Structure 1
């Protein structure tokens, strides 16, 4: 198993469905993107932690999306494993319903959240498109920018992948899935 440096904050991804890229919707076959939980080695902790992973058949590789390392929600009964098991199927459901084109951030109630949206035309987060909650003091922009930091490790002259509408950041999921560093099984 390849050792990876855990992503600070969160590592997320979203998928744009285009004619040039095979469909990202889920089916029982292995020719479509699918999300699952898997224990990944965290070199900083020297142990394995749960992670949300995407199988990307176009690359024939697994792409880590989120390392569930934060203990912030454990007092409320949400350890990393439970968060992985609850959030990962949401990625799949949104993908299956063509609603995982972009990741963005917002607030649901008093809490910052990361959510899945179909367009970058002013769609905002709500209880229906929320993927997961961040710490109350967390900045959603920073969370999404940490995702972009992963992609910048691609090297070369690759353009930045996040897009914005006003002050809102939208991360295109297909760019992440097709370009983010992968892990070996």
Structure 2
């Protein structure tokens, strides 16, 4: 996987789930450290990093983040009915965490190495069923990107990441899929685990 220039002192948001490139994330923000994160990112236009939690919880003591995560750019924010801040963010490039530190307020900061985006490869015929399954799931589950399926159904990377979002994978499986650097290998592994989800 090709890497680009390191970024220093990026705010990290450890979560119990995984954000994939081009994915959408909705968050409810209430802790001061994350309100500061949102203020910083909206002021500077910089992304923040989303990493799956390896140890700990989303709230309270600082959690230990996975070494590979996804950059997230805030696209919208609003005040929710409960009075808390809600944000919407879009997944961008993946990255590897080089080192982390924890600020006095508990916010995790990291130096990261961005990963170059995956090559755009067509979906091989042997994985055509996966694109069909993605279309059906998008019709049923109505994700925000459902109208993009027809245009991007022959992009192996995009199809794989969207299936990872919609199939009932556990968090560790999602993290494994995020860390794969071959979109065709990701499709092969998704095909191999599909029987788990078929109704008996």
User: What's the TM-score once normalised by structure 1's chain length?
Assistant: 0.28
Point out the structure with the larger helix share: 2
Which structure carries more relative contact order (alpha carbon 8 Å, separation 6+)? 1
Point out the structure with the larger strand share: 2
User: What's the TM-score once normalised by structure 2's chain length?
Assistant: 0.27
